[in-house]
């Protein structure tokens, strides 16, 4: 992934949703650059387009107009298959509503992105243990989401997002359920370099 100093570039992006005969313009002529290594917070009221922008940058959606370029690659020009593989390798998502699978334990939810890699079961387990320790949930590894508090579920979501050591971390109001958090910020975090000793060479 080639960054040339700028990891994310959004040029003239518009996003229009169609609801029956009504066109809803969520983003209009948006321009944004995110340098490699940047920590960026997007602030605004509900409905201002923060989540929509994160979805476009992360390849979960495509713009109605304009281009989104991440690491020198225009996501709008990728096939669905290529885009899915690209997301798995480079993007970590922390969702506002957790998006945990209720039938899987915390550790199994965290492991899910690693199933798309060539890591062995033992290597996957080691990565999962490491990130659960980072979010202070090692003691809850075998618990199901229904037995976790909202804050604990979000920390599982954060662990799942960072377990692959992604190039870009996109967080949609990641602390909205934590005590004392206003829950009005979305974050974009990018690594300064795409080279990392934490990423296994077998990917």
pLDDT in tens, 88-131: 889 999 988 899 999 999 999 999 999 988 899 999 999 999 99
Q: Report if residue 139 sits inside a domain.
A: yes
Based on the domain organization, do 130 and 168 belong to the same domain? Answer: yes
68 and 110 together in one domain: no
Residue 1 pLDDT:
58
**Helix then strand then coil, % of the chain, to nearest 5:** 35, 30, 40
Domain that holds residue 143: 79-187
Q: What's the CA gap between 117 and 138, in Å, rounded?
A: 23
Residues 87 and 126 in one domain: yes
Q: Looking at the 3D structure of the chain, how many domains does it have?
A: 2
Query: In which element (H, E) is residue 5 found?
Result: none
pLDDT at residue 173, as a whole number = 79
| Residue 36 phi, psi (nearest 5) | -60, 135
The pTM of the full predicted model, rounded to 2 decimals, is 0.79
- CA–CA separation, 7 and 4 (whole Å): 7
- Cα 137–chain centre separation: 20
Distance, C-alpha 95 to centroid of its chain: 7
CA dihedral 43, 46, 47, 50 (to 10 degrees): 30
CATH of the domain at 104: 3.40.50.300
Interatomic CA distance for residues 115 and 101, integer angstroms: 15
**Residues 21 and 85 placed together within one structural domain of the fold:** no
């Amino acid at each position: 992934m080639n960054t040339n100093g700028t990891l994310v570039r959004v040029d003239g992006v518009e996003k229009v949703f169609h609801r029956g005969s009504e066109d809803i313009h969520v983003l209009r002529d948006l321009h944004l650059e995110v340098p490699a290594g940047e920590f960026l917070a997007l602030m605004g009221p509900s409905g201002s387009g923060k989540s929509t922008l994160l979805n476009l940058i992360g390849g979960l959606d495509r713009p109605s107009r304009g281009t989104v370029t991440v690491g020198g690659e225009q996501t709008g020009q990728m096939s669905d298959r290529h885009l899915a593989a690209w997301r798995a390798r480079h993007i970590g998502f922390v969702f506002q509503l957790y998006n945990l699978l209720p039938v899987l334990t915390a550790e199994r939810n965290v492991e899910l992105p690693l199933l798309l890699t060539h890591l062995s079961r033992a290597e996957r387990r080691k990565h999962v243990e490491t990130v659960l320790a980072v979010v202070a949930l090692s003691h809850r590894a075998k618990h199901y989401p229904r037995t976790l508090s909202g804050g604990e579920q979000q920390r599982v979501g954060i662990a799942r997002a960072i377990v692959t050591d992604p190039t870009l971390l996109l967080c949609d109001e990641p602390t909205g359920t934590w005590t004392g958090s206003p829950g009005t910020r979305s974050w974009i975090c990018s690594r300064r370099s795409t080279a990392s000793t934490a990423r296994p060479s077998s990917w």
